[in-house]
Amino acid sequence: MPHSNIQPKTRTHARTLRRELTKAEHRMWNMLRGFRGRGARFRRETPIGPYIADFAWLSARIIIEVDGDSHAMDAGVKHDQKRDSFLLSQGFRIMRFDNNDVICAEEGVYLEIERALTQYLLPEPQP
């Protein structure tokens, strides 16, 4: 008997995506790991229903997406709208960042994420 609503095909695809992070996703992962000391527990390429979130902090219901050029195309926009609608109905908050912003404006992206997560994070450890 399955223990979740995740299809085996989705789970296998997520496992493949975890092994094949893009440059921007790798940078985002390193950035999000910096929040671990403050209580954030993000997971990479996490299946949620029929979809796979780039990064998800499940207990806080936060998803962070790193979007490439395909998300700007009509098909990508429609897919994202359908996907976001499902994820929002499941109680998730979604933050989206463009690949270029993650790579070229890393500090700004970090600060935007930190502001959005403030209510969930533990205080910064004092030296």
Contact 120, 62 (CB under 8 A): yes
Residue 86, domain CATH: 3.40.960.10
At 108 the pLDDT is 96
Q: Write down the residue that tokens 């908050």 correspond to.
A: 93
What is the reported pTM? 0.83
Contact 89, 4 (CB under 8 A): no
The verdict on residue 82 lying in a domain is yes
What is the number of structural domains in the chain?
A: 1
The verdict on residue 26 lying in a domain is yes
The verdict on residue 5 lying in a domain is no
Tens of pLDDT, residues 69-117: 655 566 678 888 999 999 999 999 999 999 999 999 999 999 999 999 9
Tens of pLDDT, residues 16-57: 767 788 899 999 999 999 999 999 999 999 899 899 899 999
CA distances from 8 to 2, 4, 57, 90 (A): 10, 10, 21, 20
